Amino acid sequence: MMRLWGVLLLAGLALIAGAALLGGGARAIADDKKDDAAKEEMKKFEGNWQLVASERDGEKAPADVIKTAKAATKAGKVTLSVDGKTVLEADFTIDPTKKPKTIDATPTTGTDKGKKSLGIYEFDGDTLKICYSEKERPTEFTAKKGSGNTLDVYKREKP
């Protein structure tokens, strides 16, 4: 009888260990799928973008800035320029599995160097909408007064 309990105990432990390993494997597969989704989504960012609208904390950006502001993205890096002059370079990461999709950017140049911005983004054809803040990640695409949010809308430039 004791021997039967020992065998059952070992079998139970083996099942638990196997389930834990499979669960870990499932997490690893889920992480791989998340990485694959991010790589595919990152391709959508590649290219040159023209700013078409921008609002920060309830105030719209001046028309002359919007008219000349551009973003160029490649391999998780973005260069922002206004009137042909580079004003900011940053590294960014995305998580397209979140709802809404998230984007984090950290400037590598300029006065905001090293200050991480937390954001959300969405694509609608050749339009990219990004809402971000240095305080906390926005939950909706708005930049109301007092929110500290910036809402930018970009249109992909034709090659």
Q: What is the DSSP letter of 142?
A: -
pLDDT mean across residues, the chain:
83
What is the mean pLDDT of the segment spanning 29-42? 76
Residue 25 has pLDDT above 50, yes or no: no
Amino acid (1-letter code) at residue 129: K
pLDDT top residue among 34 and 7: 34
Residue 30 has pLDDT above 70, yes or no: no
CA-based nearest residue to 45, from 85, 96, 87? 96
Fold classification of 46-156 is Lipocalin (2.40.128)
Please report the pLDDT score of residue 17 as a whole number.
Answer: 31
Q: How many helices (H) and strands (E) does the chain have?
A: 2, 9
pLDDT top residue among 159 and 90: 90
Q: Which residues contact 93 (CB under 8 A, 6 or more apart)?
A: 38, 76, 103, 104
User: What residue spans define the domains of the chain?
Assistant: 1-44, 46-156
What is the mean pLDDT of the segment spanning 86-93? 96
Q: Which two tokens stand for residue 7?
A: 């065998």
CA-based nearest residue to 134, from 104, 102, 93? 104
pLDDT tens, 97-138?
A: 999 999 999 999 988 999 999 999 999 999 999 999 999 999
